[in-house]
């Protein structure tokens, strides 16, 4: 007789709020992106040796059953990533500008 137990999705939320596959550093974002690009679970596992085929199928199944919730999570992650990139670029630009000004001042003083 077959017993149908409710299986857990092999995902967890790390200390930074990122959803990852249990036993690996692969993110839900990565699995969904490759699946949406037409990769099969077998192809995904081929690219990430730490993943188990059954886990990838379970994650794809979860995604297909919960697309709206997963997409909300992915949009929030992308928004956070954009904000972080903007912050890094702003800091980088001001640091570069400071270096240029200091170099210019040094040339003026020594010249």
Mean pLDDT of the chain: 89
Q: 3-state SS of 41-57? A: HHHHHHHCCCCCHHHHH
- Taking the C-alpha atoms of residue 47 and residue 36, their distance in angstroms, rounded to an integer, is 15
- Taking the C-alpha atoms of residue 64 and residue 37, their distance in angstroms, rounded to an integer, is 14
Predicted confidence (pLDDT) per residue in 36-61, tens digit: 999 999 999 999 999 999 999 999 99
Predicted confidence (pLDDT) per residue in 63-102, tens digit: 999 999 999 999 999 999 888 888 877 776 666 767 777 7
Smallest Cα–Cα separation from 27: which of 18, 35, 36? 18
Burial class (CB in 10 A: 0-12, 13-18, 19+), 43: middle
Predicted confidence (pLDDT) per residue in 3-27, tens digit: 777 778 999 999 999 999 999 999 9
Smallest Cα–Cα separation from 55: which of 89, 11, 111? 11
- Taking the C-alpha atoms of residue 22 and residue 58, their distance in angstroms, rounded to an integer, is 12
pLDDT value of residue 66: 96
pTM: 0.75
């Amino acid at each position: 007789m077959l017993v149908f137990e409710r299986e857990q999705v092999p995902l967890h939320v790390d200390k930074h709020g990122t959803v990852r596959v249990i036993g690996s550093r692969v993110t839900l974002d990565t699995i969904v992106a490759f699946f949406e690009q037409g990769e099969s679970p077998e192809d995904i596992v081929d690219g990430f040796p730490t993943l188990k085929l059954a886990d990838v199928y379970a994650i794809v199944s979860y995604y297909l059953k919960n697309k709206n919730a997963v997409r909300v999570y992915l949009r929030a992650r992308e928004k956070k990533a954009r904000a972080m990139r903007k912050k890094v670029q702003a800091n980088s630009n001001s640091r570069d500008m400071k270096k240029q000004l200091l170099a210019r001042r040094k040339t003026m003083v020594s010249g």
